[in-house]
Amino acid sequence: MFYKTIAGCNIKIKRDISIIIEYRDDNDMLQISYCYLAEVYGDMKAPSFTDKEKADGFKIIWVTIDDALKLLKNDRPKTQSGKFIQKRDLAFIEKYMTIMGVNRRINLN
């Protein structure tokens, strides 16, 4: 089965990686995030960002897992939401690396 993503591509899911459930008391918010190993199919199209995401300068970049790890570790989020996103995405990468047998630990220090 193929799925359309907000990144502007169609994917076929190869396997589940993880689910992260976040409770944010400051916003009284529950967020459930899913991570999959997937393969891209077909042509890339423009991402489907919200107006707020566009205004905030969101963009899609495709990088290797090692580059993604470096980018996230070197990022210094300014907002509480950004800090949650960074921790979530690092946790997803760490889980992926464990599943795929990549032997590295992630530290934010």
Whether residue 69 lies inside any domain: the answer is yes
Whether residue 109 lies inside any domain: the answer is no
pLDDT tens-place string over residues 45-76: 999 999 988 998 889 999 999 899 999 999 99
Range of the domain at 78: 2-99
pLDDT tens-place string over residues 96-106: 999 988 766 55
Annotate 7-34 with DSSP letters as a single string.
TS-EEEEEEEEEEEEEEETTTTEEEEEE
- How many domains does the chain divide into? 1
Q: What's the whole-model pTM score?
A: 0.81
Strand positions, DSSP E, 25-77: 29-41
Whether residue 11 lies inside any domain: the answer is yes
pLDDT of residue 103: 65
pLDDT tens-place string over residues 6-27: 899 999 999 999 999 999 887 7
pLDDT of residue 47: 92
Tokens encoding 21: 């459930």
Percent of the residues in the chain that have a pLDDT greater than 70, as a whole number:
94
